[in-house]
Structure 1
């Protein structure tokens, strides 16, 4: 036999095998992953394309990261569950996951409030830092597991506005008798100061203001508030939202469904949540300025909360916070970590971030 011909055929066979091996590996890996179809119920209506849209950004990213083997369809408020019962549906297993605001569920356990943000708490960067580097996600999931869910941030709003009022507010005594849509633990502050907190979904706010069944409503900021039309029925636009210095929205998944996912799909969810969070912050920061200008042109009266209002609400919240630490072990455990990082970050932010922002804001106003 021709030795050179034999060597040539051997070399060709080896080369073919070498090429075939890496081509076969992805095909094997692909067939090893299951094809899943999940539903996500949102607390938000489709008309609010930023806060609702973050859920769609998340679902799209999960699909792309898994070559469309893991598809999640997003359903707006009311399509599957009422807007304020999204977490309940996930707990019960009637839907796999949801995108919601955690402070809506402080009636289950006040520790849910940390996942959105506490009154006079962290700004968006600080909240993100505590969640991802301060252990916040893991600490909160110790609480979430008691309710048969696993969660992580999916979206952040930045600092919010203080809401729309039919009449302007002055001192803190103006809160007495005020019927206001306000979410989470901030409602306890309003109650202690004589107000009447209401927990309503976005779609119920305009009719409530128009009919006078509520006197005021906070939702988010100019981009969303313009779409909801509040300026037509409650023109006094107070600021800042002391109850949400940097609110996070949250992704919850049924605990059994989460534990049953392949690790690669869990990683896809974590990555997609982070991408959607960055997207939401950027979208609000870019769109809020133009919306603010349009709202002012439509008659919005920008009105800062008085110092008396802010100081009184702050002192009242500190008393509530202290009581919650004393009576709720879950709240106390999370608070221990949260408050340490809060104080450390505030010290740092005063040196660099705050001094820079204050100077630039003042200097640009003098130009």
Structure 2
């Protein structure tokens, strides 16, 4: 009797397994995507984010969902990534969305904008302040779904061939800068230029531009800017905590099994932590090397910072008056930033300021 019961149970178990196998295969199909990065392979932090994300998605799905990353220009160029994702040329992209403000200034807000939140505050807004849902309401209008998958932390204010002491020094200054930061600088008299990473150095060297910003010490050292523009200013008030997103064609996203959507979100979250940690770990030594090699570190003047903040707020009011998508997201992130600083000035700022002063002693 027991033998018959065992055989019946075993047979039933095998039958259940046989029935379960097709269901599992259906929920975990083999999928191959292409991901176009906006960054060159020479930037191991930013290009590395695309590689890390793609590898993690594969590992989380036991190799059934594979994403192949391509460096800037291998399928389309840096400034064509959003269009390539939207029209299905590629399934996904890895980029800072403020590269696409020419399509709509709202593209800046999910990434960063002058005097926006810092990296931690931006993360909090995205995941616990409604930012992710608000941004994807907007992205859906452009046939995309996007998830944060990196952050550089606060950036530097760029490299200049001459000193910048006052707002007057910006008059006629040709500067490589993306996003809404370029529009603010234009209002202050500069001439913004949108140039991809690999083309910045030759433009500076030839004098086609007078200044350029990119990220910070670690990346800037690799790009060699100090050789042709010695004055290195801080802070990058247009990039207090910019996000890098994985942008996904909305139809491709909607067709993914739930398991794979979960894998994408988990891989993006891990990549986010990894990219930010790399910058925080590598920038200190890089800035030491740059200064030792002759880079002249300079803070922006209070006059310039005040003028930039005033001009930024005026710009946001003007855009908000005619762009409801921008207004909705901007009002949310601005309110969140202001509330965050009520807390940050109590604990974070006091703690960091004390230790910075103590280190100086």
**TM class, shorter-chain normalised?**
over 0.9
Is 1:40–2:40 an aligned residue pair?
no
| Residue 94 of structure 1: aligned partner | 89
Which of 213-222 and 137-146 deviates more?
Answer: 137-146
Q: Deviations over 1:192-231 (max 9, x none)?
A: 1111000010011000000000000000011111110111
- After superposition, residues 75-114 of structure 1 pair within 5 angstroms as 75-114=70-109
User: Cα distance, 1:23 vs. partner?
Assistant: 6.3
The answer to whether 1:225 aligns with 2:213 is no
Relative to structure 1, the CA distance from residue 280 to residue 25 in structure 2 (aligned partners, 3 Å threshold; closer, same or farther) is farther
Matched residue, 1:239 = 234
Structure 1 match to 2:259: 264
Deviates more, 1:357-366 or 1:200-209: 357-366
Q: Which of the pair has more CA radius of gyration?
A: 1
1:343 matched to 2:331: no
Name 2:182's counterpart in structure 1. 187
**Displacement after TM superposition at 1:265 (Å):** 0.9
Structure 2 unaligned regions, length at least 5? none
Are 2:216 and 1:204 aligned? no
Q: Secondary structure at the match of 1:115?
A: coil
- From 168, 176, 197, give the equivalent of 2:171: 176
Query: Matched residues in 2 for 1:20 and 1:287: separation?
Result: 54
Q: 1:267: how far off? A: 1.1
TM value normalised by structure 1: 0.95
1:140 maps to which residue?
A: 135
Length, aligned pairs only: 360
Structure 1, unaligned runs of 5 or more: 1-5
Shift of 1:17: 5.2
Counterpart CA distance in 1 for 2:199 and 2:73 is 12
Q: 2:4 aligns with which of 6, 10, 23?
A: 10
Measured after TM superposition, the shift of residue 292 of structure 1 is 1.1
Q: Which residue pairs with 1:251 in the alignment?
A: 246
Q: Does 1:365 align with 2:360?
A: yes
* Counterpart position of 1:3: none
Match of 2:273 among 269, 273, 278: 278
C-alpha RMSD of the superposition: 1.5
Query: What's the secondary structure of 1:119's corresponding residue?
Result: coil
1:127-165 deviation per Cα after TM superposition (whole angstroms, max 9, x unaligned): 000011111111111111111111121110001111111
> CA shift at 1:21, angstroms?
7.5
